[in-house]
A and B are shown apart, each in its own frame.
Chain A
Amino acid sequence: DAGITQSPRYKITETGRQVTLMCHQTWSHSYMFWYRQDLGHGLRLIYYSAAADITDKGEVPDGYVVSRSKTENFPLTLESATRSQTSVYFCASSPRTGSTGFGPQHFGDGTRLSIL
C-alpha cells in the first residue's frame, strides 16, 4: 500500500549506542521531515529534506544525523544515544507545490524510542 512507514515501531537501547530510525514513503514526495514529540513540548522539528542529497536543520538537531540518498528514504541516526533522546519520533513527507512551496505533511505512525 502507498504511504509512509516507520521502523521499528518500538526500540529500547542503552546510552552511548548508535541507533537508526527508518522512514520510507511511496508517494515520491520531495520533502521529508523528522519530528520528536515529548510531553509538554508538542512536536519539534529535528531535520528536514527538500530532495535527495539536500538536508537542513530544524529546531532541535543536536545529537542527530540524517541522510537522503534516495527520494523515498530518510533515515535518522542517533550517533551516541542519551536519555534525553527518549521520545516518540515521527517522520512526515510532503509534495512540492509550485517552485518553492510544499503541500500538507503526511505523518507515519511513529517510533517509540526508550534509552536506558
Chain B
Amino acid sequence: DAKTTQPPSMDCAEGRAANLPCNHSTISGNEYVYWYRQIHSQGPQYIIHGLKNNETNEMASLIITEDRKSSTLILPHATLRDTAVYYCIVRAGSGAGSYQLTFGKGTKLSVIP
C-alpha cells in the first residue's frame, strides 16, 4: 500500500472550516483515498473516500489534486464534536492487500471554542 503523510496535530476555531492535508505521493492508479476519524474511546468512523474526482457528502468534502499525490479533507463548519484523530488511508479497491486498512498516526484535530 502507498504510504501517507499527515501533520501530527492541528487546531481550528469553532465554526471555521478545518482543512486537513494528506500527502500520498506513491499512490497507484487503482488506489482510493479514504478518510476516517476516531473520537476518543470510540471506533473509527468512515468519513469519505475518492479516486480522482472531488467528493462531497453530509460530513465533509474531499479535494484530490490532479496528479493524485495529495488530498485535503475539509470540514466546512467545525464543531467541538469534530475534535478527533483523522486518518488518511490509501487502499486498493479490490485484489490482494485491499482488505486491510492501514491506519498511520493521523492528525489530531482540536476544535477550539
A interface with B by C-beta (< 8 Å): 31, 33, 42-43, 45, 48, 56, 58-59, 90, 92, 97-102, 104-110
Per-position 1/0 for B34-57, Cβ under 8 A of A: 100000011111100100000000
In the assembled complex, the Cα of A56 lies from the Cα of B45 at a distance in Å of: 24
Known: A31-B99, A58-B100, A102-B94. A42 touches B105 (CB 8 A): yes
Please name the 6 residue pairs, one residue from A and one from B, whose CB atoms are nearest each other, closest first: A107-B43, A101-B94, A100-B94, A42-B103, A104-B46, A45-B100
- Chain B residues within an 8 Å CB radius of A31: 99
In the assembled complex, the Cα of A98 lies from the Cα of B93 at a distance in Å of: 10
In the assembled complex, the Cα of A98 lies from the Cα of B32 at a distance in Å of: 15
Report whether over half of chain B's contact residues are helix, strand or loop; otherwise say mixed.
loop
| Contact between chains at B45 and A48 (CB < 8 Å) | no
| Contact between chains at A33 and B99 (CB < 8 Å) | yes
In the assembled complex, the Cα of A91 lies from the Cα of B101 at a distance in Å of: 13
Report whether over half of chain A's contact residues are helix, strand or loop; otherwise say mixed.
strand
| Contact between chains at A43 and B95 (CB < 8 Å) | no
- Chain B residues within an 8 Å CB radius of A108: 43
Per-position 1/0 for B70-113, Cβ under 8 A of A: 00000000000000000000000111001111111100000000
Q: How far is the CB of A93 from chain B (nearest CB, A)?
A: 11
Considering the complex, which residues of chain B in the window 7-30 have a beta carbon less than 8 Å from any beta carbon of chain A?
none
- Chain A residues within an 8 Å CB radius of B93: 97-98, 101
Query: Can you give 27 contacting A-B residue pairs, CB < 8 Å?
Result: A31-B99, A42-B102, A42-B104, A43-B103, A45-B99, A45-B101, A48-B100, A58-B99, A58-B100, A90-B43, A90-B44, A92-B43, A92-B44, A98-B93, A99-B94, A100-B94, A101-B94, A102-B99, A104-B46, A105-B46, A105-B101, A107-B43, A107-B44, A107-B46, A108-B43, A109-B42, A109-B43
